[in-house]
Amino acid sequence: MSKKNSVLSRLMPISQSELETRQSIPQFPNLVAEDRHEDGKPMIRIEEPSQDAAEQLAGSVASLAASLAHEQQADNQVHSIKKKEWTINRSTGSALGKLSEALAVENELKAVKDRMETGQAVVELEPQALDGSFVQDRMESSDSAIAELAEQIKENGQLVPILVRTHPTVPDRYQIAYGHRRARAAEQLGIKVRAIVRRMTDEELIIAQGQENNARRDLTFIEKARFVIALENRGFTRKVIREALSVNEGDLSSLIAVGSRIPLDIIDAIGPAPGIGRPRWRTLMDLFQDATCVKRARKILAEGNVQALNSDARFRVLVDRLQTKERPKPQSWEDPHGRRLVNIVFSETKCTIQIDQRAEPEFADFLVSKLADVYREFEAQKDS
């Protein structure tokens, strides 16, 4: 390495890129290093420059300036690219942040829904969005009883929430497992009803429905019997029914016997009869072994004065009258002359016609001879 180059390298240390740039332009042949130093620094001088040397030096400086300008432009382009990348990354980060927030909200809503459907949350529902259970347990709830319950809720609030599930077939509706009266009272007050929403199968719903009523001892004997028959008709097993009502096999058999042997329309006409227990309902069941009693019972329960009674009284009147053999009320028929020629007596199984032959001896024979014609007329009228 020459002495000039050694001095220049000490004086102007350069990077690899600068070295490459320097190597691509002409050297400065007119720079001469001196042996003297000033303040400890080596000195250089320019030899007597010729015109050619001056022009060469000017060209070299111009080339170096152009090279530095090119490098500056490249740096600016890199800076611009990095700025764009930062802007894109910032926009992408903002979009990802919003997506993350949306996912967090969705997860929170799902968690709330899960808490609701597992019975961990109490919500408020519009009574108009509620449907009753697919199996009725109560036979009747009087308007006065609902009004009394509504007044209690108005004063103290709804202390106990009802239990519902999302309706299995109707969107945006719910099906009540228990709490039907509370829902009616809330609707009467024009307020929302507090409810627990839980995932339930049909079996789980009727078990919850039966056990809640059983815990409050709220269903009468005949309501339970009616409930059992409805569940059997829907195909539920006796194991599920026993679990729903918390009864043993013997009690269940008794409920089934009474509920199946007393016609449903008669049970409905009597009502829940809260003061009537199993023994008296079995008495009524035994009376219906006589088929004529069923017909009599329907007639008795259709009487206006019997319908006006409360449920317990209707039951007692019905049993008393069925146990008493009613004496047939005789009827009579008079001819146009005012003579009583025929006495008629109706019983449960017979109609007896008696003709007084003293007043008109030939009328009985004539009537008997016309029986075939009368019967044909009866059939023709029946078929028309």
Domain segments of the chain as ranges:
3-86, 330-383
Instruction: Return the pLDDT at 261.
Output: 94
Higher pLDDT, 62 or 239: 239
Residue 350 CA to residue 345 CA, distance in Å, equals 8
Instruction: Return the pLDDT at 251.
Output: 92
Backbone angles phi, psi at 49, to 5 degrees: -75, 135
Q: With cut-offs at 50, 70 and 90, classify the pLDDT of residue 34.
A: low
Q: Residue 72: pLDDT above 70?
A: no
Instruction: Return the pLDDT at 2.
Output: 46
Q: Are 33 and 4 in contact (CB under 8 A)?
A: yes
Q: What is the mean pLDDT of residues 248-263?
A: 93
Instruction: Return the pLDDT at 25.
Output: 41
Q: Are 238 and 294 in contact (CB under 8 A)?
A: no
Q: What is the mean pLDDT of residues 61-76?
A: 55
Task: State the amino acid at position 3 in one-letter form.
Answer: K
Instruction: Return the pLDDT at 332.
Output: 87
Q: Residue 47: pLDDT above 80?
A: no
Residue 31 CA to residue 63 CA, distance in Å, equals 18
Higher pLDDT, 197 or 8: 197
Instruction: Return the pLDDT at 225.
Output: 93
Instruction: Return the pLDDT at 18.
Output: 47
Instruction: Return the pLDDT at 174.
Output: 95
Q: What is the mean pLDDT of residues 69-73?
A: 57
Backbone angles phi, psi at 151, to 5 degrees: -65, -40
Chain centroid offset of residue 224 CA: 26
Q: Is 187 exposed, middle or buried (0-12, 13-18, 19+ CB in 10 A)?
A: middle
Residue 50 CA to residue 48 CA, distance in Å, equals 6
Q: What is the mean pLDDT of residues 127-155?
A: 84
* Per-chain mean pLDDT for the chain: 77
Within 10 angstroms of residue 21's Cβ, the number of other Cβ atoms is 17
Chain centroid offset of residue 189 CA: 23
Count of CA atoms in the C-beta half-sphere (13 A) of 241:
25
pLDDT in tens, 193-245: 999 999 999 999 988 888 776 655 568 999 999 989 999 998 989 999 988 88
pLDDT in tens, 310-354: 999 999 999 999 998 766 677 888 888 888 889 888 776 778 888
- Tokens representing 156 are 């103290």
Residue 144 CA to residue 257 CA, distance in Å, equals 33
State the residue for tokens 């075939």: 372
Q: Residue 109: pLDDT above 90?
A: no
- Tokens representing 125 are 């529902």
What does R_g of the chain's alpha carbons equal in angstroms? 53
Q: What is the mean pLDDT of residues 133-160?
A: 83
DSSP tag of 328: P
Instruction: Return the pLDDT at 103.
Output: 62
- Tokens representing 55 are 């022009």
Q: Which of 24, 19, 20, 21 is nearest to 8 (CA)?
A: 19
Instruction: Return the pLDDT at 317.
Output: 95
The secondary structure of the chain in percent helix, strand, coil, rounded to multiples of 5, reads: 60, 15, 25
pLDDT in tens, 153-195: 998 899 889 999 999 999 999 999 988 889 999 999 999 999 9
- Tokens representing 279 are 């023994």
Find the length of the chain. 384
- The CA-atom distances, in angstroms, between 24 and each of 5, 58, 330 are 16, 16, 144
Q: Residue 6: pLDDT above 70?
A: no
Q: With cut-offs at 50, 70 and 90, classify the pLDDT of residue 114.
A: low
